[in-house]
Amino acid sequence: MPKKWPEYLMIAVACLFIGYGTGAVITERKRLITFDKTISLQWSGKESYGGNPCGAHVYVVPHPKGYAVRARIYKSRILPISQDCGDIGYTSTPEEAAEKWAIIRWETDGLHIGTGTNAYFLPRAKIEPHP
């Protein structure tokens, strides 16, 4: 056994902590709102969802079909609690996505994003409650 094995162990533990911290930061940054890709962002009223305002964020990301339009619901203005709605549609340009999914409406039955045949609806029952 090497004489300096405690030093090697400390270096290994420090490297693990640095790797874990870096991974956690990168993962959290991916979940944050990116305004350069945002189509629309709107908060519900306080009375809408049990006294907790919810935010709906609609954004685009590159996709083999052009751009994927995605949605995420934020459960709090302060805490980073969110629910991913996944892909709600596909377009060839961000401008086309903005035309189809820029309108967000918080109604008593749930969340409505977009209009016409491209509209996305998430029933109120499927919106996870705030912890």
Cα atoms found within 13 Å of the Cα of residue 53, Cβ hemisphere only: 10
Provide the 8-state DSSP code for 86.
E
Is it the case that residue 71 has pLDDT exceeding 70?
Answer: yes
> CB-side exposure of 35: number of CA atoms within 13 Å?
0
Q: pTM for this structure?
A: 0.70
Q: Tell me, what's the pLDDT at 48?
A: 58
pLDDT of 131 above 60:
no
| SS3 (DSSP) at 58 | strand
User: Can you tell me the mean pLDDT for 89-112?
Assistant: 90
78-111 per-residue burial string, b: 16 or more CB within 10 A, e: under 16? eeeebeebeebbebeebebbbebbeebebeeeeb
How much is the pLDDT for 96?
92
